[in-house]
Amino acid sequence: MKKLPLWADLVLVPLISIVLAALISALVILAIGGDPVEAVSVMFEGALGSPYGWGYTLYYTTSFIFTGLAVTVAYHASQFNIGAEGQAQLGGLGVALVCLALPWPHWALALPAAMVGAALFGAAWAAIPAWLAAKRGSHIVITTIMFNYIAYSLLQYLLVTVLRPAGQMDPATARFPSGASLPTFHDIPGLSGIFSPSVPANISFFVAIIACVAVWVLLWKTRLGYQIRAFGKNEQAADYAGISRTKVIVISMLISGALAGLMSINNVMGEAERLLQNSAEGAGFIGIAVALMGRNHPLGVFLAAFLFGFLYQGGAEMGLWTDIPIELRLLLQGLVVLFTGALDEMVRMMITPFFRRKEAR
């Protein structure tokens, strides 16, 4: 593949991909009799036009950062973790068990404990596929996707028969104690004037940013990260260097599962304040797209998570305020994934001649 300048690779290619996805979406909107210009303006207005919109966009962004990082860490060990969804649901179970275990006096105590619970449960859910991949050579894609279904069924069973308080109608846990309630943006000094109490974005957004930095340090500044990346690039060379296959696969998948699980401090602890069925709501799968689009770099993941947060919130607003059905949001997301992930090379090929000509001159 011909080389593009770094900025083109990191900025231009994703940007063109998004524009192409948007153009096709516009054609679809036209075809079903909608107005694409109106759709775009409603999306921007709804997602970024008000503190309320930002509150939701950043809430979604937070979840997507965690799952995107989860996929990223596994990817660097050449493990394609499709199971962030299941790991996030198990993380939710961990959060719920921690939050319901004690009458927490203050969120500052509850949050670290819940993070430990979320990370442990998420990691545990990734552990079995990881071990099978490392020791038995099972394909990680197959096993993690199966574990998504097992997670779904397990949580359904637990929520219906074990965790549901007697007399409650819906399959969910009891509400978490108020001491475990995380501060939303409205509760944070300095932001309280901007955001209303109703926005779901909460302090986990900052935890997510810290996680981005932590993953960056892990992958590029530590021995473990070095070994993970070396193994991911070249397994044979890792053998030669004495980098243990089992260790790298298992540890990277445990970290990946823990990051996916950590997502639950945002949606379960920060927003719902109880554990519901299907708590992850597909964020685990969006994490794959986020990691792909973010080039498996924490900074890219942050930006891509924000884009998907925007699409999520903007799409919801579009469904609400225009005649365009909300399902079109899925179409738009799908196209973005298609273009940034699968058709990435096509876009690259399209723009390469322009750069070559420039160099020739």
Partner 1 sequence: MNNTTQSQTRRHSAASSSSQGAAKAPAIELRKICKSFGTVRANKDISIKVQPGTIHGIIGENGAGKSTLMSILYGFYKADSGEILINGRETIIPDSQAAIRAGIGMVFQHFKLVPNFSVVENVILGAEDGRLLRPSIAKARRELKRLAQEYEMDVDPDETVENLSVGHQQRVEILKALYRQADILILDEPTGVLTPAEADHLFRILDFLRAEGKTIILITHKLREIMEITDTVSVMRRGEMTATVTTSQTSPQALAELMVGREVLLNVEKTKAKPGAEILQIKDLRVWNDEKVERLKGIDLTIRSGEILGIAGVSGNGQTELLEVLGGYRTGRGTITVNGKTLDLSGRSDAQSRRHDGIAHVPEDRHHHGLILDFPAWENFIFGYHNAPEYQKNTVLMDNAGIVRATEEAMQRFDVRPPIPALAAKNFSGGNQQKIVLAREIERNPAVLLIGQPTRGVDIGAIEFIHKRIIELRDAGAAILLVSVELDEIRALSDRIAVMFDGEIMGERLPEDTDEKDLGLLMAGMRDRNRVADEETPNDYNDPRDDNDDDGADGGDAGGEGE
Residues that bind partner 1 (CB under 8 A): 2-3, 217, 221-223, 226-227, 229-230, 233-234, 236-237, 239-244, 356, 359
Are 265 and 99 contacting, i.e. CB atoms less than 8 angstroms apart?
no
Q: 276 Cβ partners below 8 Å, 6+ apart?
A: 159, 170, 171, 172, 268
At closest approach, how far in Å is the CB of 347 from partner 1?
A: 18
Closer to partner 1 at the Cβ: 192 or 244? 244
Closer to partner 1 at the Cβ: 196 or 222? 222
Are 171 and 164 contacting, i.e. CB atoms less than 8 angstroms apart?
yes
Closer to partner 1 at the Cβ: 274 or 297? 297
CA atoms in the 13 A half-sphere facing the CB of 295: 15
Tokens of 35: 């107005």
Tokens of 246: 């089992």
At closest approach, how far in Å is the CB of 296 from partner 1?
A: 12
At closest approach, how far in Å is the CB of 255 from partner 1?
A: 14
Q: How far is CA 138 from CA 79, 133, 239, in A?
A: 11, 5, 19
Left (φ > 0), alpha (ψ -120 to 50) or beta: where does 278 sit? Answer: left
Residue written as token pair 């909608």: 34
Closer to partner 1 at the Cβ: 229 or 274? 229
At closest approach, how far in Å is the CB of 313 from partner 1?
A: 36
Closer to partner 1 at the Cβ: 3 or 106? 3
At closest approach, how far in Å is the CB of 209 from partner 1?
A: 20
At closest approach, how far in Å is the CB of 355 from partner 1?
A: 10
| Partners of residue 202 on adjacent β-strands | 184
| Eight-class DSSP state of 271 | I
Burial class of residue 208 in the structure, from the number of CB atoms within 10 Å of its CB (0-12 exposed, 13-18 middle, 19+ buried): buried
Closer to partner 1 at the Cβ: 239 or 323? 239
